[in-house]
Amino acid sequence: MIRNQIAEHVRQAIAAAQAAGALPAFDVPAIEISRPKDPTKGDYATSIALQCARAARMAPLAIGQAIVQHMAPADFIGAVEVAAPGFINFRLSGRWLSGLVATIEAANGRYGDINLGRGQTCQVEFISANPTGPLHMGSARNAVLGDTLANIMVAAGYVVQREYYVNDAGTQMRTFAETLYRRYLQQFGQDAPLESHHYQGVYMVDLAREIVAEHGDHFLAMPAEETIAALSDIGLTKILASIRASAEKLRVRFDRWYSERSLYEPGGTFEFVLGKLREAGVMAVRDGAEWLLTSRFGSDRDEVVIRSSGQPGYYASDIAYHYDKFVLRGFDRVINVWAVDHQNQARRMPYLMAALGLDPARLTIVLYDLVRLYRDGQEVKLSKRSGDIITVDEVVDEVGADAVRFLLLTRSNQAVMDFDLNLAVAQNDENPVYYVQYGHARMAGILRKAAERGFPPEQWKHGDLQLLGHARELALLRKMLDLEEVIEHAALTCAPHNLAFYALDLARIFHEFYRDCPVISGEQDDPALACARLRLVAATKAVFARVLGLMGVNAPDSM
RNA sequence: GCCCCUGUAGCUCAGCGGUCAGAGCGGGUGCCUUCUAAGCACAAGGUCGCAGGUUCGAAUCCUGCCAGGGGUACCA
């Protein structure tokens, strides 16, 4: 990354200045290179002179001058300036910048890849919605965040596994089965009213109807408990199939669907981990329940693992599941994407990790806020219980996966998102996804037209990049140069929305270029420039395709 | 009560310690015989919730307050 090269260059300049006596000896802090907000200041800047002023007992400006005077020339540096109150501003050379096109070409569609992860394994667990009904829009946000984050981690050099944790154990599953049982009986005219805690949604009626169609009255003759158990399995299979289909509509696929219930098989993970924790002496029986003593690891409370009823609590699953992730399967890192209503649980996970003897830093919980759906200015309420739900399928069918994915990525994770169905479906310039896709389509159009007019790729692929020097061309190059840093930042902060805003920026800069720099309409005047610009356009197209690809959004060649 | 998140242009939101506060949309004015006008240009629009503090420097960090949302179970 060029930023690191500049930092190293500055470090050497300081050492040289100190060796020459232009600067006194002092410990040099880590040199941070930032991007000035104001592009007229330069491409990169460092405040190192300001930071060293006290240690060096010199005025920041004088320090800056001394550093710059002892800086070796480098091909990537176009200009260096010291600016008040003590910044050193760098401008990249046009020659070096235009060479970025060749770098992008050589990357073969993978420009932007970095080696932050160094091949470590990273599991991203996301959606993991209770398998008791169709996916709603909150889960869609989870799906898009998790899937995009997984893509980002791959680009950042991790080996990634995508997992859906199926909550097929516990009370919500029991409630689901009871509901299904009653809906099944109702299909045969029996009086089996739902209670308030049951799932009221009409999809449960549809499910019961489907089961009647496939199995008839077969279950009526069986004892209730047996029927409930059977319906539980059948219903779970069907719901999971529908969740899988909904996820695929959003272009989300999992490497593994992990069953919570499997943790509790005899001799399974839960038993094993519980034994280990008891052995380690971090379990205690109190009030008839068995607790994990997380207070020993910094928590303000202990957690119930086995309830006084003898049933494991939800913390039990977390313990076994995360032991499985880190110890049995050996992931170096794990990212869980959870909705904010799990914030309390999220806060306790580090203590659980510590109790398991694992470094809490290996687990990252990404919390995201609610999605509020609006249609015609009115909020559309979501509730699985009441049955008044807007499903992912309905929204994707209405607005398309591209718009859903892009819009869900235009908000930072921890911000409540108002999802405007009218905006999403709008096939016009109000919808930012088209602004970006249109940029890609225009590039494809240029390349297509170029081929028609006697400029096929073999004609321009060796075009002279040194001819690129127009302000719009350089602006485009600078933006493309940012991609590695954007991916790094997105990976470090688990913030996929950075990609959406990057794509929007890149599109704007491309559209400006498009207007001011005709690529092939002026080729009769300067075919060499046309060739250079065609290379630039092809590289830009590749960058657009890459960013949109990371977001799971299509990059159309025409619109 | 305590904890977490959010409060930035008319609207929806980026930016989260640096050198004149940004984008998209909406509203105003221009630009299509020339690579797709789903575009571009120009102008307009902001006490970065409020008050203190830290710092050479704060929208960004700290404290307090105000407003909105979420969380605080032997539910998941």
Q: Provide the strand spans (E) within A297-446.
A: 303-306, 333-339, 363-368, 371-375, 378-380, 417-420
Distance A428 CA to B19 C1' (A): 39
Distance A23 CA to B56 C1' (A): 19
The rounded distance, in Å, linking the Cα atoms of A220 and A230 is: 12
CATH code that applies to domain A2-92? 3.30.1360.70
Residue nearest to nucleotide B25 (CA to C1'): A430
Helical ranges in A254-335 per DSSP H: 269-279, 314-323
The rounded distance, in Å, linking the Cα atoms of A184 and A517 is: 67
SS3 of residue A523 by DSSP: coil
Contact A126, A165 (CB under 8 A): no
A414's tokens: 């921890």
User: Tens place of pLDDT for every residue, chain A, 559 residues?
Assistant: 899 899 999 999 999 999 999 999 888 888 889 888 777 888 999 999 998 888 888 889 999 999 999 999 999 999 999 988 889 999 999 899 999 999 999 999 999 999 999 999 999 999 999 999 988 888 999 999 999 999 999 999 999 999 999 999 988 899 999 999 999 999 999 999 998 888 888 899 999 999 999 999 999 999 999 999 999 999 999 999 999 999 999 999 999 999 999 999 999 999 999 999 999 999 999 999 999 999 999 898 999 999 999 999 889 999 999 999 999 999 999 999 999 989 999 999 999 999 999 999 999 999 998 888 777 666 776 555 455 567 888 888 888 899 889 989 998 988 888 877 776 666 566 678 888 999 999 999 999 999 998 899 999 999 999 999 998 999 999 999 999 999 999 999 999 999 999 999 999 999 999 988 999 886 667 899 999 999 999 999 999 999 999 999 999 999 8
SS3 of residue A273 by DSSP: helix
Whether the domain at A2-92 and the domain at A430-551 fall into the same CATH topology? no
Q: How far is CA A3 from the centre of its chain?
A: 23
Give the pLDDT score at A162.
Answer: 98
Distance A82 CA to B46 C1' (A): 31
Phi, psi of A468 (to 5 degrees): -80, 120
A164-190 burial, b for 16+ CB within 10 Å, e for fewer? Answer: bbbbbbbeebebbbbbbbbbbbbbeee
Closest nucleotide relative to residue A88's CA, C1' based? B19
Give the pLDDT score at A90.
Answer: 94
Phi, psi of A284 (to 5 degrees): -150, 145
Would you list the domain boundaries of chain A? 2-92, 171-249, 371-425, 430-551
Give the pLDDT score at A388.
Answer: 57
Helical ranges in A453-495 per DSSP H: 457-460, 471-481, 483-493
Give the pLDDT score at A381.
Answer: 66
CA A299 → CA A204, A319, A341, A342, A438, distances in Å?
A: 41, 15, 19, 17, 51
Contact A444, A523 (CB under 8 A): no
Residue nearest to nucleotide B39 (CA to C1'): A511
Give the pLDDT score at A383.
Answer: 53
SS3 of residue A33 by DSSP: strand
Peptide bond into A85 cis (omega under 30): yes
Give the pLDDT score at A47.
Answer: 92
Give the pLDDT score at A524.
Answer: 63
Could you tell me the sign of the dihedral formed by the alpha carbons of A26, A31, A32, A38, in that order?
A: positive
Distance A515 CA to B43 C1' (A): 20
The rounded distance, in Å, linking the Cα atoms of A322 and A315 is: 11
Closest nucleotide relative to residue A443's CA, C1' based? B35
Residue nearest to nucleotide B57 (CA to C1'): A85
Could you tell me the sign of the dihedral formed by the alpha carbons of A442, A448, A450, A453, in that order?
A: negative
Distance A216 CA to B12 C1' (A): 51
Give the pLDDT score at A427.
Answer: 57
CA triplet A83, A87, A90: central angle to 5 degrees? 85
Give the pLDDT score at A382.
Answer: 56
Closest nucleotide relative to residue A523's CA, C1' based? B35
Give the pLDDT score at A389.
Answer: 65
Distance A517 CA to B27 C1' (A): 30
Q: Which nucleotides of B are covered by protein (CB under 7 A)?
A: 3-7, 12-26, 34-41, 56-57, 59, 68-76
CA A556 → CA A436, A439, A536, distances in Å?
A: 10, 9, 19
Residue nearest to nucleotide B26 (CA to C1'): A430
Give the pLDDT score at A377.
Answer: 65
Contact A558, A541 (CB under 8 A): no
The rounded distance, in Å, linking the Cα atoms of A228 and A34 is: 61
DSSP for A289-303, please give it: EEEE-GGGGT-SS-E
Give the pLDDT score at A548.
Answer: 95
Closest nucleotide relative to residue A130's CA, C1' based? B76
Q: Which helix (H) or strand (E) holds A286?
A: strand A283-286
Distance A76 CA to B13 C1' (A): 35
**ipTM of the complex in this document:** 0.94
Q: Which CATH class is domain A430-551?
A: mainly alpha
Contact A120, A80 (CB under 8 A): no
Q: Which helix (H) or strand (E) holds A241?
A: helix A224-249
End-to-end CA distance of chain A: 35
CA triplet A43, A48, A51: central angle to 5 degrees? 140
Closest nucleotide relative to residue A530's CA, C1' based? B35
The rounded distance, in Å, linking the Cα atoms of A505 and A507 is: 5
Give the pLDDT score at A430.
Answer: 67
Distance A392 CA to B12 C1' (A): 22
Distance A146 CA to B7 C1' (A): 27
Residue nearest to nucleotide B21 (CA to C1'): A37
Closest nucleotide relative to residue A290's CA, C1' based? B74
Pairing of strands A303-306, A289-292: antiparallel
**Residue A158 identity:** Y
